Amino acid sequence: MDTAIFTWSRLQFAMTAAYHWLFVPLTLGLALVMAIMETLYLVKKDEFWKKTAKFWMKVFAINFAVGIATGLILEFQFGTNWSNYSWFVGDLFGAPLAIEGIIAFFMEATFFAVMFFGWDKVSPKFHLASTWLTGIGATISAYWILVANGWMQNPVGTTFNPDTVRSEMASATAFWEVVSNPVAVDKFFHSVLSGWFTGGTFVLGMSCWFLLKNREVEFARKSALVGAIVGAAGVLGGFISGDRSGVNAAEFQPMKLAASEGLWDGGRRAPFSIVPGIEVPGVLSLLATHDIDGYVPGINDILKGYTDKDGVCVPSAAEKISMGKTAIAALKGYRDNRESDPEKASEFRKILDENVKYLGYGQLDTPEELIPNVPLVYWSFRLMIGFGMVGILLFLLAFFAMYKKKLQDWKWLLWLGIITIPLAYLAGQFGWVVAEVGRQPWTIQGLLPVKAAISSLSAGAVKTTFFVFLGVFALFLVIEIRIMVQAFRKGPEIEETSKA
Q: Measure the CA–CA gap between 390 and 394, rounded to whole angstroms.
A: 6
Mean model confidence pLDDT for the chain: 91
Give the pLDDT confidence score for residue 162 in this predicted structure. 93
Q: Please give the share of the chain, as a percent, with pLDDT higher than 70.
A: 98
- Who contacts 323 (Cβ-Cβ below 8 Å, separation ≥6)? 315, 355, 357, 358, 361, 362
Contact 175, 93 (CB under 8 A): no
**pTM for the full predicted model:** 0.92
Provide the 3-class DSSP secondary structure of residue 449. strand
Q: Give me the residues paired with residue 158 across strands.
A: 169
Count of CB atoms situated within 10 Å of the CB of 451: 20
pLDDT digits (tens, 9 = 90+) for 74-118: 878 887 888 888 888 877 888 888 888 787 778 888 899 999 899
Given a cut of 70, whether residue 150 has pLDDT beyond it is yes
Give the pLDDT confidence score for residue 499 in this predicted structure. 39
Q: Measure the CA–CA gap between 83 and 81, rounded to whole angstroms.
A: 6
pLDDT digits (tens, 9 = 90+) for 327-368: 999 999 999 999 899 999 999 999 999 999 999 999 999 999
Contact 191, 198 (CB under 8 A): no
pLDDT digits (tens, 9 = 90+) for 52-64: 999 999 999 988 8
Given a cut of 70, whether residue 495 has pLDDT beyond it is no
Over range 26-43, report the average pLDDT: 96
Q: End-to-end distance of the chain based on CA atoms, in angstroms?
A: 65
pLDDT digits (tens, 9 = 90+) for 400-434: 999 999 999 999 999 999 999 999 999 999 999 99
Q: Give me the residues paired with residue 307 across strands.
A: 313
Residue 45 is which amino acid?
Answer: K
Count of CB atoms situated within 10 Å of the CB of 292: 15
- Who contacts 36 (Cβ-Cβ below 8 Å, separation ≥6)? 226, 229, 230
Over range 142-169, report the average pLDDT: 90
Residues in the chain: 500
